[in-house]
Amino acid sequence: MDATIYHNPRCSTSRKTLDHLRAAGVEPTVVKYLDEGWTRDQLVQLFADAGLTASQAARKREPLYKELNLAEASEDKILDAMVANPVLVERPFVVTAKGARLARPIENVDEVL
């Protein structure tokens, strides 16, 4: 099975999700999104495939989220902030031919395996 994980190796949930995928017999493509960044189109498609809005996929505990006052922002402004600051995207996301899921909780990815 082809799978991609948008991964932050410093995040314990991201590391556990990668382990979960491997335990299920899946060796995913690992994208270190903090290094590679996002395009707006990528995020729009990812969130649509996962059934989430940008505000639902935002990392609200990130200090930058508060600094940019994103709690009151439009979806467009949140997307723009995520493109400029990839750390604002919650992690990890897993994408397969069956769709995309935010692995919070980790078991969410089982829906697309």
| Residues labelled as active-site residues | 11
The Cα 48–Cα 64 span in angstroms is 24
Sign of CA dihedral 109, 60, 85, 76: positive
Amino acid code (one letter) for 6: Y
What are the CA-CA distances from residue 91 to residues 14, 77, 88 (Å)? 7, 19, 9
Neighbours of 4 (CB within 10 A): 15
Q: Which two tokens stand for residue 13?
A: 């949930």
ω into residue 92 within 30 of 0, thus cis?
yes
